[in-house]
Amino acid sequence: MGIRVVRSSSKSWAVAALTALAALFARAAEAEGTGALAVSMAHSMMMLLLQLGAILFAARLGNMLFTRLRLPGMLGELCAGVAIGPYALGRLTLPGFANGLFPEFFIRLSEGGHELRFVVSPELYGVCMLAAVVLLFLVGLETDLNLFLRYSVVGSLVGAGGVALSFLAGDLLSVWLLPWVVPGTYTALSPACVFLGVLSTATSVSITARILNENRRLDSPEGVTILAGAVFDDVLGIILLAVGMGVAGATAAQHTDWAGIGKTALGTLVVWLGATTAGVLAARTLAHALKRMGGHSEVAVLALGLALIMAGLFERAHLTMIIGSYVMGLSFSRTDINHMVREHLQPVFALLVPVFFAVMGMMVDLELLGDPKILLFGLVYTAACMLAKLAGCGLPTLLCGFNLRGALRVGVGMVPRGEVALVIAGVGLTSGFISKEVFGVAVLMTLLTTLTAPPLLIAAFNRKGSGLRPGKSPPGPLDVMLSSYSFPNEEVTALLRNSLMQHLGQEGYFAHALSMSEGIYQARKEDAVLNIRQSGNTIEIDAPPDAVPVVRLMMIEVIVEFEQTLKELRKPLGAELHTELSEVEAGRTVRRETLARHLSQEAMVPDLKATTKRAAIAELIDVLARAGLVKDSDAALASALKREAAMSTGLRHGIACPHARTDAVGRLVCAVGLKADGIEFQSMDAQPARVIILTLSPTTAESPYMAFMSSAMAVLHEEKALKLLLGCRTSGEMLRALVPDSRKK
């Protein structure tokens, strides 16, 4: 097949390109019918690549849009999947794709089982399940078992109350409502009813935690109680999913074998608890072994490999694979490699997890969801799930010192559903335990609870008044001691913070950034967790009481080392080093064209009037301003003086190079001034500066400051060039001394 290049106008080029592309797709589609197995496999891989590309692109756009609207990005990815799925835009036919980009498949779920009409190919479904495994592995890693153990009373009451009441509400309500939309006879142990009950128990604490953090309520009594209850909620929800899978499988037959159901439920619970207990006990030994095998990236990959193996083993044991990955994540949650693994798996998470949420959205049949009966079912089910969480999580808090206001805040904080609910719904659909109608109801419930809970939570906290009963003191934050250290400026503070992080790493801590933009860092070693914050010129460290002495000694050592470094920097460069630098520069080709690009005659001052360092800098900035090279003289002067205050820019042999980054300039600009009797610049050799080279560069873009100064120093290191410059009487002579070829221009 040949390709002919056609010259066309810019307007017709796009049309011609699309026409040619459509022709290629059409020919490929025609050839597909005559191909053998290899052609079919190639076609499957081609379809997978196109589908993944479309999904990633749409999911990222949805995430960005919802994030700008201050809504969870996960919902944007879910809605993007709905939009491009086969029940919306995905049904549109394209050249070469008669059935659309996402054609339906019929998949036999098990031997002798029924066929399920599926909207994703087996290959895309495999990627989706891999994403679900990674997602639940990271959810397990984020589970705070220390909080689980510390607040076992209030956490168990809130978590267990919410799970129990939500499950009963979802399960029993579905017994009554399901016959409206899916004809049949249902009991509380019917697979669809069990899954709707399990779905209603999930809680997305990440959404609540973000809102509490933004409103500075994360450490409030209600905030701590919500976090503790959510930990129990996650653990109990996964246990309930494991048991529910066993019960659903046992009751899939028409008759009910109560003995078999009880045996299956008990066996499932024993397997889960046994695997979790063994994993938690062996986790530290396993983490130490992984750390000896390589660096941070290798440890993260090996940990993910173990999660995949555990997921496969759980699937082999007739439990869903996501439970196995959650168990492995939960096992590593108390080890010091926890954040290391999470940080290095973030790119994997960012790639795969949006695929999962988008595919979940693609499975939503909009026509079915638009059915009045199904829509009514979804709204009633959602309302029941919200009320069940409010009552189940809020009422137990009344026993823990809260009043009705505090109980309402805790209950609303536990309402949002999120990623775990979608994972459970996907497992139920692909296992054949729930229908497309029920799956759509589950997605609708997730959307509505996630959208309505944040404004309700903000409104509950905006109501003035304490959430505690008089004289009551519920659990507060973990016992920590705060150490605070202040320094002269932000630059010094950042240097000391980086040095502290290096020292912590040498002491066996895993030190990493939680939010570099907000200056929040963390260091972990076994159970010890240090939270480090830089706010301006202050470093604050939250540490457990037994770790405070170590932190203080380490901070003293960092400060002493910094002071010793400053003393060394104040010493003049040794003669040997100066000779060595001169030899290096003399051996290089002097790039005078670099100077020529940034020097101009109007920025040359042969006789400075200033007698002080500040006045000299101000005079050179005024020269640049008159030449139209500086937009704001005051801002430029402030930046230059701030840089000079940090450390003097006086060099050797009577040369000073004050400089700064400032928004007052749009590109690198330079002014050169001469002072016959010199100006005091605290130079390295204690000589006054007779040549002052002022350089200003923009803060928002890269500028060749180092290349410019290197060229200038290379020129002035030549004794003849320096004497020639000092003997200049006009600005033109100065420019020719620095750039000899300038007279030709």
394-442 pLDDT tens trace: 888 888 778 888 888 888 888 887 667 777 887 787 777 788 888 888 8
Residue 163 near residue 201, CB atoms below 8 Å: yes
Over the stretch 348-381, which tens digit does the pLDDT of each residue have?
888 888 888 888 888 787 777 778 888 888 899 9
Q: Please name the amino acid found at residue 745.
A: K
Q: Per-residue pLDDT for 136 more than 90?
A: no
Most confident of 478-482, 575-579, 597-601, 668-672: 668-672
Task: Check residue 619 and give its pLDDT.
Answer: 93
Q: Which residue type sits at 239?
A: I
81: pLDDT confidence band, cut at 50, 70 and 90? Answer: confident
How many Cα neighbours within 13 Å face the side chain of 398? 9
Looking at the predicted structure, is the pLDDT value of residue 96 above 80? Answer: no
Q: Bigger pLDDT: 565 or 517?
A: 565
Half-sphere exposure of 379 (CA within 13 A, CB side): 8
Q: What is the mean pLDDT of residues 65-86?
A: 83
Average pLDDT over residues 113-126: 66
In whole angstroms, how large is the CA radius of gyration of the chain?
34
Tally of CB atoms within 10 A around 645: 10
pTM for this entry: 0.58
Which residue in 344, 503, 659, 717 is the catalytic one?
659
The predicted pLDDT at position 561 comes to 77
Compute φ and ψ for 151, nearest 5 degrees: -110, 50
d(CA 516, CA 501): 13
Q: Are 251 and 261 in contact (CB under 8 A)?
A: yes
Residue 147: per-residue pLDDT: 56
Confidence band for 25, pLDDT divided at 50, 70 and 90: very low
Q: Cβ(280)–Cβ(334) under 8 Å?
A: yes
Query: How far apart (Å, rounded) are the C-alpha atoms in residues 428 and 170?
Result: 15
Burial class (CB in 10 A: 0-12, 13-18, 19+), 569: exposed
What is d(CA 619, CA 671) in angstroms, rounded to the nearest whole number? 10
In whole angstroms, what is the distance from residue 657 CA to residue 666 CA? 20
> Is residue 197 predicted with pLDDT exceeding 80?
yes
Model confidence pLDDT, tens digit, residues 281-293: 888 888 888 888 8
The CA-CA-CA angle for residues 309, 310, 312, to 5°, reads 65
Categorize the per-residue pLDDT at 68 as very low, low, confident or very high, splitting at 50, 70 and 90: confident
Euclidean distance between CA atoms 652 and 690, whole angstroms? 11
Question: Phi and psi of 515, rounded to 5°?
Answer: -155, 100
pLDDT at position 159, please?
A: 80
pLDDT band of residue 461 (cuts 50, 70, 90) is: confident
Tell me: the pLDDT tens digits for 607-657?
Answer: 999 989 999 999 999 999 998 899 889 999 988 888 887 677 787 778 888
Beta-sheet pairing, 510-515 with 520-525? antiparallel
CB 137 within 8 A of CB 211: no
Confidence of residue 578 (pLDDT cuts 50, 70, 90): very low
pLDDT over 90 for what percent of the chain? 6
Mean pLDDT of the chain: 76
Tokens of 656: 């000073």
Gap between the Cα atoms of 404 and 629, Å rounded: 65
Domains with residue ranges and CATH for the chain: 105-462 (1.20.1530.20), 481-570 (3.30.310.50), 588-744 (3.40.930.10)
Residue 692 pLDDT: 92
For residue 4, the model assigns a pLDDT of 37
Angstrom CA distances, 230 to 169, 339, 400, 416, stand at 19, 20, 16, 11
Which element (helix H / strand E) includes 7? Answer: none
The sign one gets for the Cα dihedral 704, 706, 711, 712 is positive
Burial of 375 (0-12, 13-18, 19+ CB in 10 A): middle
Torsion of CA 492, 698, 585, 648, to 10 degrees: -40
pLDDT at 484 over 50: yes
In the predicted model, is pLDDT for residue 61 greater than 90?
Answer: yes
Question: For residue range 648-701, what is the model confidence (pLDDT) as tens digits?
Answer: 778 777 888 888 888 888 888 899 999 988 898 887 677 888 999 998 988 765
Poorest-pLDDT segment among 95-104, 488-497, 718-727: 95-104
- Taking the C-alpha atoms of residue 597 and residue 742, their distance in angstroms, rounded to an integer, is 11
Asked whether the predicted pLDDT for residue 256 surpasses 60, the reply is: no
User: Most confidently modeled of 64-73, 441-450, 672-681?
Assistant: 672-681
**Dihedral class, residue 654 (left if φ above 0, else alpha if ψ from -120 to 50, else beta):** left
Q: Which residue has the higher pLDDT, 284 or 550?
A: 284
Structure tokens at 461: 């906290």
DSSP code string of 108-147: E-STT--EEEESS-HHHHHHHHHHHHHHHHHHHHH--HHH
Quote the strand ranges of 419-492, DSSP E: 481-486
Provide the b/e sequence for 219-231 (b: ≥16 CB within 10 Å): ebbbbbbbbbbbb
Q: What is the pLDDT of residue 57?
A: 92
User: Which of these ranges, 29-43, 350-364, 386-400, 445-459, has the smallest mean pLDDT?
Assistant: 29-43
Three-state DSSP at 693 gives strand
Give yes or no for residue 467 having a pLDDT over 90: no
Q: Would you list the DSSP string of 510-558? A: EEEEEETTTTEEEEEETTEEEEEEEETTEEEEEE-GGGHHHHHHHHHHH
The CB density around residue 41, as the number of other CB atoms within 10 Å, is 11
Instruction: Please give the Cα distance from 313 to 563 (Å, whole number).
Output: 56
Which whole number is the average pLDDT over 226-248?
73
Residue 460 has pLDDT above 80, yes or no: yes
Q: Is 344 a catalytic residue?
A: no
One-letter identity of residue 344 = H
Q: Which tokens belong to 411? A: 């209950």
The residue behind tokens 């079912």 is: 377
Cα of 156 vs its chain's centroid, Å: 30
- Which is more confidently placed, 582 or 290? 290
Closest CA to 199 of 172, 170, 174, 173: 170
Tokens 């004794």 found at: 719
Candidates 547, 561, 539, 546; CA nearest to 483 is: 539
E strands, 76-214, in order: 105-108, 115-118
